[in-house]
């Protein structure tokens, strides 16, 4: 497993970044962004101390007047459970983070100067800004049970990261409780209360999420079942059909055109 340099903490975003591709495109005219599509904007005036980065899950029907840059966000939005877990709006003030402020200033400098490679630089800096917004959302947690609340939990996040990074491992509740450094009973109770489902239910849902991606890419059902951690293709097919209402072979036949 990949661990951060901070003892006791694990990288809660790494698996999502590896599995789901983050793509951000800065729009040329801020007021031309598409309502309904997730969007990230840089707004406010640094001189007035109200500069902020704002993410809206369903985009902006009306872009605020003080907006300086807008970028459209594609993080495999429909398939990515992290995107589904985000609140409708996340606003992060630049003054709360030296790194966020420095990145935003570099972003605005690129936007203003028109140097070679400007478009690529803007898009990549926007990706970094989005990752910082996601960090803020995870650190803040959530009032309601769900993935964000679990990732924000001081102990449970270790079990979630273990599931995300090694989905094919034959996890047991005891294993996951140990990864969270909790007793079995405390882990089960806390996981259900915080995440909103049992650890095994979450593990199964994550495996099926990954399996759908493999099948859409045209991977064989047996190989997908093995990579996703199911004991057999038959067990995988039953679980997949219960979850999605059709056999995995039906999705595989659609191939890459379904992506």
Residue 207 pLDDT level (bands cut at 50, 70, 90):
very high
Of the ranges 42-51, 62-71, 105-114, which one carries the lowest mean pLDDT score? 42-51
Tens digit of each residue's pLDDT (9 = 90 or more) over 52-74 = 899 999 887 777 778 888 889 99
- Cα distance between residue 164 and residue 209, in whole Å: 11
Domain assignment of residue 34, yes or no: yes
* Model confidence, pTM: 0.86
Domain-ending residue, one of 140, 163, 191? 140
* Percent of all residues in the chain with a pLDDT value above 90, rounded to a whole number: 57
Q: Identify whether residues 100 and 18 lie together within a single domain.
A: yes
Quick check: is 217 in a domain?
Answer: yes
Q: According to the model, what pLDDT value does residue 6 have? A: 38
Residue 7 has pLDDT above 70, yes or no: no
Q: How far is CA 125 from CA 23, 52, 71, 108, 156, in A?
A: 11, 15, 11, 10, 31
Question: Do 80 and 124 reside in the same domain of the chain?
Answer: yes
More confident residue, 57 or 96: 57
Is 183 found in the same domain as 105? Answer: no
Last residue of a domain, one of 140, 172, 205: 140
Domain boundary among 85, 113, 140: 140
Owning domain of residue 164: 150-258
For 133-181, write each residue's pLDDT tens digit: 999 999 988 889 999 999 999 999 999 999 999 999 999 999 999 999 9
Tell whether 227 and 161 lie within a shared domain. yes
Side by side, the strands of the sheet bearing 67-74 are 23-26, 67-74, 39-43, 52-56, 89-93
Question: Number of structural domains, the chain?
Answer: 2
Helix (H) or strand (E) holding 23: strand 23-26
* Residues 142/152, Cβ–Cβ less than 8 Å: yes
Q: What is the mean pLDDT of residues 118-139?
A: 92
CATH number of the domain bearing residue 165: 1.10.10.60
Please determine, for residue 258, whether its predicted confidence score (pLDDT) is greater than 80: no
pLDDT digits (tens, 9 = 90+) for 97-107: 899 999 988 98
Beta strands in 30-174 (DSSP E): 39-43, 52-56, 67-74, 89-93
């Amino acid at each position: 497993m990949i661990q951060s340099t901070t003892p006791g903490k694990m990288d809660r975003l790494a698996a999502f970044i590896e599995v789901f591709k983050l793509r951000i495109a800065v729009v040329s005219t801020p007021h031309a962004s598409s309502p309904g599509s997730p969007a990230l904007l840089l707004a406010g005036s640094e001189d007035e101390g109200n500069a902020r980065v704002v993410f809206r899950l369903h985009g902006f029907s009306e872009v605020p007047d003080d907006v300086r840059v807008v970028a459209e966000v594609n993080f495999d939005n429909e398939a990515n459970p992290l995107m589904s877990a985000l609140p409708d709006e996340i606003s992060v003030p630049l003054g709360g983070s030296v790194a966020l402020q420095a990145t935003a200033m570099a972003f605005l400098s690129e936007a203003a100067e028109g140097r070679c490679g400007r478009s690529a630089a803007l898009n990549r800096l926007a990706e970094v800004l989005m990752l910082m917004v996601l960090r803020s959302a995870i650190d803040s947690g959530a009032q309601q049970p769900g993935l964000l609340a679990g990732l924000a939990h001081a102990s449970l996040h270790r079990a979630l990261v273990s599931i995300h990074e090694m989905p094919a491992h034959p996890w047991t509740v005891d294993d996951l409780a140990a990864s969270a450094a909790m007793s079995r009973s405390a882990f089960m109770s806390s996981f259900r209360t915080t995440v909103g489902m049992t650890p095994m239910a979450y593990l199964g849902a994550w495996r099926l999420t990954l399996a759908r991606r493999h099948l859409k890419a045209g991977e064989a059902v047996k190989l997908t079942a093995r990579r996703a951690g199911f004991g057999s293709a038959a067990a995988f097919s039953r679980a997949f059909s219960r979850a999605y209402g059709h056999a995995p072979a039906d999705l595989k036949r659609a191939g890459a055109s379904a992506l």
